[in-house]
A and B are shown apart, each in its own frame.
Chain A
Amino acid sequence: GAVVSQHPSWVICKSGTSVKIECRSLDFQATTMFWYRQFPKQSLMLMATSNEGSKATYEQGVEKDKFLINHASLTLSTLTVTSAHPEDSSFYICSASGLADTQYFGPGTRLTVL
């Protein structure tokens, strides 16, 4: 199957700082990328959908000014958590979809905000 990478795999930051997470499709062009958040022992919750070259569509309850998403190319999307607080600590997972419907997920990024 297609490969999606995420960087970093884990990050620890101080409260009030910003953190950027990268999501890359390595062997296909991703017309759409998705960002999910997963709390321990829970399911994946969609945060936003982004299409290359256009603004992301955020799910209800997700602050667009806090979770900045950029999908600048067909192989790269970034999620920036601005002014992070301890309640933002979570497992962030991206997925990418090309011309087909299949979504391939990245390995996830564990964010811990102290």
Chain B
Amino acid sequence: GENVEQHPSTLSVQEGDSAVIKCTYSDSASNYFPWYKQELGKGPQLIIDIRSNVGEKKDQRIAVTLNKTAKHFSLHITETQPEDSAVYFCAARLDTGRRALTFGSGTRLQVQP
């Protein structure tokens, strides 16, 4: 099955700096890669996603890049703010008709004011 690895497990940045979280996946059939933000005690919230026919997608301060050849994708957050502090999960979905997501292990982002 699919295996998603996520790095780093923790990330601390100063407010205003950029943060980058990287994920790799194992199955080349995966074609959908969402990123979720989870605050303490809450469910994950979709922040951005990308499909395999696109190399990059941006939404304000958040961007995601995908390299299908290398089977890795990254989340970029620019101009970080204290409210960006949370756990971020990447995920991948197989293109087999089964829509279950395989999640990475998560990255705890701490933005220092």
Contacts and interface: CB of A to CB of B under 8 A. Distances in A.
Interface stretch (A12-20, A70-78, A81-89, A96-104): A96-104
Contacts of B99: 32, 49, 97, 101, 103
Contacts, number: 48
B17 to A, nearest CB: 24
Contacts of B100: 34, 46, 49
B1 to A, nearest CB: 10
Given A49-B100, A103-B99, A108 B41 contact: yes
Interface in A37-86: 42-44, 46, 49
Interface residues on B, range: 20 to 34
B25 interface: no
Nearest to A106: B43
A44 B41 contact: no
A103 B106 contact: no
For the residues of A in contact with B, the DSSP-based class is strand
Given A6-B43, A43-B106, A49-B100, 12 more contacts: A34-B100, A43-B89, A44-B44, A44-B89, A46-B101, A97-B99, A101-B32, A101-B93, A103-B34, A103-B46, A105-B46, A108-B42
Interface of B: 32, 34, 36, 41-46, 49, 89, 93, 98-106
Interface of A: 1, 4, 6, 32, 34, 42-44, 46, 49, 93, 97, 101-108, 110
